[in-house]
Amino acid sequence: MLLIFFLLFTLMFVAFHMPLLRLPYFWDEHGQFIPTALDLLRDGAWVAHSTLPNIHPPGVEAYLVLWYKVFGYSILVTRVAMLTLAGLGLLGTFLLAIEMSTKAAGAPAFLPPLLLMVSPLFFMQGMMAQLDMPAMVGTVLALLFFVTGRHGWAAATCVALVLTKETGLVVPVVLLGLSIWRRDWKHAAFYLAAPAALGVWLLVLHSATGQWAGNADFARYNLSYSLHPVRIVLTGLRRFYYLFLAEFRWIGTMALVFAAGKMRRLVTAAWIPVAWVFAANLLLMTLFGGAALERYLLPVLPLFYIAVSVALTTYRRWVGGMMTAALGLGLIASLFVNPPYPFPYENNLAMVDFVSLQQVAAEYVEDNLPASRIATAWPYTAGLERPEFGFVQRRGLRVVETNDFHLSSIKAIPPEQFDILIVYTRTWAPEGGVIQFPLVRRFLAKFYEYAPEVTDADCEKLGLTPMVSWSRRGQTITVYKRTGLPGV
């Protein structure tokens, strides 16, 4: 029966992604995780050498390498491998929802995986070679095994979890604490395996790089930078907004708030470890992680949907049905509609627009300017250099890398080092959006190093003129050529 549900969830999810299965990689995929996986596949290197190593353990890369060994390396294999893992997460969510809804009427356990499937964040991350969807899978399965008393399986899952993402350590720490509180000393010892496994990885990483976090800049950005008091407060507000209000989740939050009194009789012992893991993850993801990306919240998103699904059973059937339909339709709409404020493109289908524009520009440059020296921002440089990332067909493009498209960054590149500049929309800043307000821009500049991207006028002053440009749903990519370079 479990296999049937796993296949049902997985095949549905893969079917939803059919048009995207060969989409080139996005940002950290080809900037970090796929190069690391290929280093492991081709050289047996557990610590990346073709990209800058960092603290992230190589669990996801090892999982992908198993697929590559069987089916060969390709973008299609990567996408299917990640969607299969997401299917396991959907099954785990369904089973955990059953354990948490034993006192509820009806069959609310079916709703959380369905809501996850249409949630923009899970929909996009479910096919991407990144860490947070796999961390969600590990979190849900560890909780499922813990609440059903299978501590050996829970501890083994925690080991896999921390070797997927280091912040997953919060789960075995919580489960260890609960076991000690219950005076279950035997099973408490099981949960020491995960910290030990993470410690072994850190020793391997330190031995290879001389850094406990893999590189000093990664440690600074994700630790000291994120711990600034203003950034902590804003990240906390951002976490609360996204999890409880954004993408029409305010409907689910309202369902929880107004059903709070009736929910007390529906809460079982399974809710205690879930609540502690939810709170601990939320706190950790507020304090650490310089980019404060919404994908860091994936491990707690299914827990929210499970609670909402149980809360909906306390309403009259027609009321609960209307709220469920409104929430589902709102989530689907949020896949296509971008917010009026800066957000990571990987949160919805804006990621497809972003990658598609980069693919078009790469094809143009490869066909028409193959001998030119191209300046652009990381990680697009990797996409232009390496055909295995899906943007170009052959090696040979020469690139010069910058971290961003601030005017000062472009000025810092010696003019004699590049002939072509490719500028793409790195920050979502639509006309009429909040970033247009001077007060917001000053705040972001002071606390987040924000600066506007170069304009055509800026480039003209640097001796660069627009050659060709493409736009898609508010995003743009432009190829500039140095003045005097023969036209194409």
For residues 179 and 104, which has the higher predicted lDDT (pLDDT)? Answer: 179
- Give the residue with greater pLDDT, 364 vs 224: 364
Give residue 289's pLDDT: 87
> Can you tell me the distance from the alpha carbon of 192 to that of 384, in angstroms, rounded to the nearest whole number?
44
Helices 317-336 and 250-258 pack at an angle, to 10 degrees, of 150
148 CB-contact burial (10 Å; exposed 0-12 / middle 13-18 / buried 19+): middle
Q: Is pLDDT larger for residue 91 or for residue 214?
A: 91
| Better-scored residue on pLDDT, 293 or 395 | 293
pLDDT at 464: 94
Return the pLDDT at 119.
98
| pLDDT for res 224 | 83
Asked whether the predicted pLDDT for residue 477 surpasses 60, the reply is yes
Is the confidence at residue 459, as pLDDT, over 60? Answer: yes
Cβ neighbours around 182 below 10 Å, total: 10
117-127 pLDDT per residue, tens: 999 999 999 99
Residues 374/397, Cβ–Cβ less than 8 Å: yes
Which residues have a Cβ under 8 Å from the Cβ of 265 and sit 6 or more positions away? Answer: 103
Give the residue-averaged pLDDT of 391-420: 92
Nearest to 91 by CA among 174, 21, 8, 168: 8
Q: Is the pLDDT of residue 15 over 70?
A: yes
Q: Give pLDDT tens digits for 29-54.
A: 999 999 999 999 999 999 999 999 99
Which residue in 162, 166, 165, 184 sits closest to 273, CA to CA?
184
Please give the Cα distance from 94 to 110 (Å, whole number). Answer: 6
Mean pLDDT of 182-209: 96
Mean confidence (pLDDT) of the chain: 95
CA distance 483 to 418: 12
Rounded Cα distance, 290 and 288, in Å: 6
Of 291 and 486, the one with more pLDDT = 291
Once rounded to an integer, what is the mean pLDDT over residues 177-188? Answer: 96
Element housing 161 (H / E): helix 151-162
- Lowest-pLDDT range of 220-229, 264-273, 316-325: 220-229
Lowest mean pLDDT among 53-67, 173-187, 210-224: 210-224
Cis peptide leading into residue 273 (ω within 30°): no
Phi then psi for residue 452, to 5 deg, are -65, 155
Q: Taking each helix axis as running N to C, give the angle between helix 317-336 and helix 111-118, from 0 to 180 degrees, rounded to the nearest 10.
A: 20
Per-residue buried b or exposed e for 465-479, using 16+ beta carbons within 10 Å of the residue's own CB: eebeebeeeebebbb
Percent of the chain with pLDDT over 70: 99
The answer to whether residue 368 scores a pLDDT higher than 70 is yes
CA 206 to centroid of chain Cα atoms: 25
**pLDDT of residue 486 exceeding 80:** no
Express each pLDDT in 126-148 by its tens digit: 999 999 999 999 999 999 999 99
Mean pLDDT calculated for residue range 82-87: 98
Alpha carbons 364 and 349: distance in angstroms, whole number: 23
Which residue carries 């789960």 as its tokens? Answer: 171
List, in sequence order, every beta strand (DSSP E) within 327-397.
373-377
Distance CA 92, CA 52 (A): 33
Angle formed at CA 360 by CA 80 and CA 362, multiple of 5 degrees = 95
What's phi and psi for 453, nearest 5 deg? -80, 160
pLDDT value for 488: 47
Strand partners, 421: 375, 480
Inter-residue contact 365 to 397 (CB < 8 Å): yes
Q: How much is the CA Rg of the chain, to the nearest whole Å? A: 23
* Nearest in space to 384 (alpha carbons), one of 409, 363, 405: 363
The alpha carbon of 204 is separated from its chain's Cα centroid by a whole number of angstroms, namely: 25
C-alpha distances in angstroms, 120 versus 78, 308, 332, 350?
A: 20, 17, 7, 10
* 447-461 mean pLDDT: 91
Distance (Å, whole) CA 93 – CA 141: 8
**Domain assignments of the chain as residue spans, ordered by start:** 2-337, 347-482
